Structure 1
Amino acid sequence: MMRTPRTARRGATVGLAIGSIALLTLTACGTTSGDSASTDETLTELGDAEGQVSILAWPGYVEDGSNSPDVDWVTPFEEETGCEVTSKTYGTSDEAVNLMKTGEYDVVAASGDATLRLIAGGDVAPVNTDLIPNYEGIFDFLKEKEWNSVDGQSYGVPHGYGANLLMYNTETFAEAPTSWDVVFDKAGENAGKVTAYDSPIYIADAAVYLMAHQPELGIENPYALDEEQFQAAVDLLKVQRESIGEYWSDYLKEIQAFETGDSVVGTTWQVIQNVLAGSGASTDVVLPEEGATGWSDTWMVASDAANVNCAYMWLDYIASPEANATATAYFGEAPSSQEACEYREDCEAYHAGDEEYASQIWYWTTPIAECVDGRTDVECVDYAQWTAAWQEIKG
């Protein structure tokens, strides 16, 4: 069984209220005020290593052998660069954003529900990818996206990624489902045994479904919902609530629920299916025809990094094929480059490098009032309102 700390990581990442997000608006340079880093402040050349670097990251992203002697990709970095690593883990994106404001960290690993806030708050700097040789090998479909760049300016280096898949019990479903309708319009057929991800960001899953089944709503991006579109997604989830046995955010609890048969269909991650398959459970996963939500994490450099040279060295190192392969495999996600697959035997299971597959994933992005789909004639519903609505949906 692959070790992964995802329980503490994904479940809590997007589950808390973000009252301040209502005020977040990105301008062309990705900031709300002039104190944020701008594109002309990017580093132009590297200097000597400072001898240390402070990293803020999700559990499992910066392993130095202290948790498990055979899991260590930090020591090779320190030996190679002379940059001694100190690290701190966090449990939610809100926590990460707050910690970055202390100015104590040089590097942060951030998910899409935090990156725009870090950029807008001036907490992270634009990144000069020319100074990161391993950036070139990263899959193009992960570069310069709305969650890791602004107007073509990169604000970080993509790390691992994955999709929120549909899991089903193969004894309950004689044929593999092809649509999310089994957890929405047809959820009643398995009432009490449907499961869904416990987070406000799950509203985007409903929006993905509506994009295909109610095109008249005009949804172009599940994280850019105007009031009418948002209400349609909320209404769909309120109906679904009647068939939900339990919402999950705990990795182990979902495994147990599918093993016992308490859950027979719902959202999941590939790594969870890997564990269940290893135990002989009657489950399988599919990426439905409507597509799915997912995540793509980004390594970012603090705008006031005290050790900027070592920070850049870390970004290059963690994007190197072997280090990236080791870190993403430990965590349970696809690596960021094809070369990394030379050091992994499970890339096919994670559809690593499959651009067509990746194009069906809507990666988590912070919903903000300024619509991330580019619309300027309406105001979109921000994440604070998503959080309030989620509590109402769950009752």
Structure 2
Amino acid sequence: MIFNSLPNQLQRRPTTPGSRPSGVRSPHGRGRLSTAVAAAAALTAALAAGCSGSSDATRTALPQIPAQQVIGATEGQLNLIAWAGYAEDGTTDPKVDWVTPFTKATGCKVQTKIADTSDSMVALMKTGKYDGVSASGDASLRLIYGGDVAPVNTSLLTNYPDIADYLKEQPYNSVGGQMYGAPHGYGANYLMYNRNKLPQPPTSWSVVFEKNSPAAGKITAYDSPIYIADAALYLKSKRPDLKIKDPYALDQKQFDAAIALLKQQRALVGQYWHNFLDEVQAFKIGDITAGTSWQVTALATKAEKAPVETVLPVEGATGWSDTWMISSRARNPNCMYRWMNWITTAKVQSQVAQWFGQAAANPKACRYTAKSFCSEYKIGDADFYKKIAFWKTPVANCGDDRGDSCVDYSRWSQAWAEIKG
């Protein structure tokens, strides 16, 4: 995506409801998202379904899969699962191509399966047909504990020292200090609002959750079970008695409070969006006044002359951070390691970030971006990163002295289906 010509690029991308348009992020599971509701009572069921993170996945021992020690001769082929816009080969736009140069440099011919949701990525990785995946935090732990991805040897990642330190060894891409991939890019879920309808800029997520909201009836919300974390993040400040520390690690009382808030919000919502272009259109025609938005969505909406602004509320925000992960059954592991090295170079990072609309994991990408791009996307800004609660697969293990008393992803999915009705 050429930063200064974003609207023209968007106009050339036909999309279907619920899909992720090429070159830009649509909800995950990230419109990068579906409302998969299959519940899994056991690990095997969760792995087979590929769409729910059963608590059993964290009760079993971490699969003992060795990390690769050397990069050998290339196999000549690479099969990827990726979000649209992450592995562009010139098909979408002849000027947008970082795959062809990779093939010429390595001999690895790339085949990419585009996935619309994190749930579908998990299911596809279980087939063993793919070498790697651009997983979001709401899928990565399912892949790790399911034994579908292998730990990475960061000493083989030539650009790893250049990756922002705050993206390394995070709860969504590592376990016990062991990295399970190469950080790719990230972004925040901002609050976007119509400045004509809300002349006093909102400073809190209360504008989308409370009954007395001036935007009642014209609120938009992200259509995904992971959106439950947005409600939990708001309640973390609104109701300190709940003692919420991590919006992805909710015990039953905390979870019930978040669900109650979302059921209250249901009457206020005018749109649940899968495809962010639907949100752009809703703000453009005035059907929506406030709601969750990505930065690229805001820029596209402004380009459509809609009177919108974004704000990071006082409570902070949720967000997404993606990681290239290698399959534990990769048939072409040497090509996959070479891909992870290629996709994290500064120049390629700049291409992906500007095309897709995200912050690059490698801050050196700013050498090649449009002048204002890095400031817009807060690239390299560690303080900004700390304000974001990045997507993480909800599991039964709370990660503290509460033990296995937290509500797992399968129950998040069930609850979301009930909220939506």
The alignment-based identity, stated in percent, is 50
Q: Does 1:109 align with 2:134?
A: yes
Where 1:347 maps in the other structure, the secondary structure is: helix
- Of 26, 38, 43, which residue of structure 2 is paired with 1:7? 26
TM-score normalised by structure 1 residue count: 0.94
1:67: how far off?
A: 2.3
C-alpha contact 1:14 1:201 (8 A) present in aligned 2 = no
Q: Distance in 1 between matches of 2:232 and 2:124?
A: 31
C-alpha contact 1:24 1:120 (8 A) present in aligned 2 = no
What residue is the counterpart of 1:167 in the other structure?
192
1:187: how far off?
A: 4.9
C-alpha contact 1:24 1:117 (8 A) present in aligned 2 = no
What residue is the counterpart of 1:94 in the other structure?
119
What residue is the counterpart of 1:58 in the other structure?
83
- Shift in alpha-carbon separation, 1:161–1:187, aligned structure 2, 3 A: farther
1:376: how far off?
A: 4.0
C-alpha contact 1:125 1:300 (8 A) present in aligned 2 = yes
What residue is the counterpart of 1:25 in the other structure?
57
Q: Distance in 1 between matches of 2:38 and 2:348?
A: 33
What residue is the counterpart of 1:387 in the other structure?
413
Q: Distance in 2 between matches of 1:135 and 1:224?
A: 29
C-alpha contact 2:55 2:397 (8 A) present in aligned 1 = no
Q: Does 1:282 align with 2:314?
A: no
What residue is the counterpart of 1:265 in the other structure?
290
- Of 121, 128, 144, which residue of structure 1 is paired with 2:153? 128
1:146: how far off?
A: 0.7
5+ unaligned residues in a row in structure 2: which ranges?
A: 1-6, 11-22, 40-45, 47-52
1:18: how far off?
A: 4.5
Q: Distance in 2 between matches of 1:261 and 1:190?
A: 11
1:339-354 matches, within 5 Å, as 339-345=364-370, 346-354=373-381
1:123: how far off?
A: 0.9
1:113: how far off?
A: 1.2
Q: Distance in 1 between matches of 2:152 and 2:33?
A: 24
Q: Distance in 2 between matches of 1:96 and 1:145?
A: 20
**Would you say how many aligned residue pairs link Structure 1 and Structure 2?**
387
Deviations 1:84-103 (CA, angstroms, capped at 9, x unpaired): 21221122222211211221
Q: Distance in 2 between matches of 1:17 and 1:56?
A: 22
5+ unaligned residues in a row in structure 1: which ranges?
A: none
C-alpha contact 1:133 1:316 (8 A) present in aligned 2 = yes
What residue is the counterpart of 1:251 in the other structure?
276
1:17: how far off?
A: 2.1
How large is the Cα RMSD of the aligned pairs? 1.7
1:1-395 matches, within 5 Å, as 1=7, 2-3=9-10, 4-7=23-26, 9=28, 10-11=30-31, 13-19=33-39, 20=46, 21-26=53-58, 32=60, 36-38=63-65, 41-185=66-210, 187-345=212-370, 346-371=373-398, 373-395=399-421
Where 1:104 maps in the other structure, the secondary structure is: coil
1:33: how far off?
A: 5.2
1:186: how far off?
A: 5.4
C-alpha contact 1:139 1:338 (8 A) present in aligned 2 = yes
Q: Distance in 2 between matches of 1:344 and 1:175?
A: 33
Which stretches of structure 1, 4 residues or longer, exceed 4 Å deviation after superposition? Answer: none
C-alpha contact 1:37 1:303 (8 A) present in aligned 2 = no
TM-score normalised by structure 2 residue count: 0.88
Deviations 1:214-238 (CA, angstroms, capped at 9, x unpaired): 1111111000000000001111111
